Amino acid sequence: MERTVTDALGRTVTYTYPPKRIVSLCPAVTDTLFALGLADETAGRTRFCIHPSPDVLDVPAVAGTKDLKLDRILELQPDLIIAEKEENTKEMVETLEPHVPVYVAEVQSIEDAYRMMIDIGDITGRLPEGRQLAEKAKAGFQTLEGTVSGDVLYVIWKKPYMAAGRTTYIQSVLEHLGFTNAAARFLGRYPALEPKDIQDLDPSVVLLASEPYPFKQKHIKEFQEILPNSLILPVDGEMFWYGPRMLEAVHYFSSLLSDMQHE
């Protein structure tokens, strides 16, 4: 049957319900589909959709998060495509929507992440599973609330240095843990920073993410030269993904914050 819903951007989307062939253009959405028991219905993914491993590798990769192969997507005969506002571009949605219904999610906070899991459950005929997944994530994250304090800088890129800034899911996680996001003083969601900017911010903690730039232990020295009195730590960037990774992230953050308090 046909069903009409309103997506996170207020767009009206009419599609066949429940969808039997779904293409996901966002890694966290793909991860969520599998967690909801929709592995068989997931017909296509991006090349960055790496969870859950290795099962997701059986799904054809037909796009990036900023690019797509229209012919390959249409060959899959999807009845629904799910995109995400930050992960994907407006042009991608405009290219696809004349051919296939496109539902756009938007996640800028922990609360948005809970809602996304429920919404994906709703539009795919897995509402109870979506609610259960969101509740498990929420229960876990509640145990972490206000665990730490101080200014933190979460660095995602090098040349130029870039950090997670305002209205990002990462900032929401950092604030939930009790941190103040030092980069929020700059305009933009992912501001570029000069070494002098980082010195002026003088955060007590710097977190070097493993993705999208692969910061590792060896990069601690260059940041320690900029901020000799700050705690510099490499962190697993995938633990800052929303969706099912949030369940794993609860244990990761508990361990990370415990280690920080002993530094």
Q: Which domains does the chain have, with CATH numbers?
A: 2-140 (3.40.50.1980), 151-261 (3.40.50.1980)
pLDDT band for position 126 (cuts 50, 70, 90): very high
- Check residue 258 and give its pLDDT: 86
- Report the alpha-carbon distance of residue 205 to residue 182 in Å, rounded: 10
The residue type found at 161 is Y
Name the percent of the chain lying above pLDDT 70: 99
Query: Is the pLDDT higher at 102 or at 261?
Result: 102
Which residues have C-beta within 8 Å of that of residue 40, sequence separation ≥ 6? none
pLDDT at 260 (0 to 100): 81
Reply yes or no on whether the pLDDT at 263 is more than 70. Answer: no
Residues, the chain, total? 263
Tracing tokens 């609360």 back to the chain, one arrives at 111
What the block records as the tokens of 180 is 């103040």
CA 77 to mean position of chain CA atoms: 27
**Which pLDDT does position 189 carry in this prediction?**
95
pLDDT tens for each residue of 203-256? 999 999 999 999 999 999 999 999 999 999 999 999 999 999 999 999 999 999
pLDDT grade for 261, boundaries at 50, 70 and 90: confident
101 burial (CB, 10 Å; 0-12 / 13-18 / 19+) is: buried
Report the DSSP pairing between strands 161-163 and 151-157. Answer: antiparallel
CA–CA gap between residue 91 and residue 111 (Å, rounded) = 27
- pLDDT tens, 11-41? 999 999 999 999 999 999 999 999 999 999 9
Task: Tell me the percentage of the chain whose pLDDT exceeds 90.
Answer: 97
Distances (CA, A) of 31 to 22, 35, 130, 186, 256: 13, 6, 12, 32, 23
What's the pLDDT band for 259 if we cut at 50, 70, 90?
confident
* Closest alpha carbon to 163 in 123, 198, 111, 112: 198
For all residues of the chain together, what is the average pLDDT? 96
Checking if the pLDDT of 171 tops 90, the result is yes
Task: Give tens-digit pLDDT for 98-124.
Answer: 999 999 999 999 999 999 999 999 999
Structural contact between residues 30 and 244, judged by C-beta atoms closer than 8 angstroms = no
16 beta partners: 2
pLDDT digits (tens, 9 = 90+) for 71-86: 999 999 999 999 999 9
Residue 231 main-chain phi, psi, to 5 deg: -85, 120
Between the CA of residue 128 and those of 69, 118, 121, what are the distances in Å? 33, 8, 7
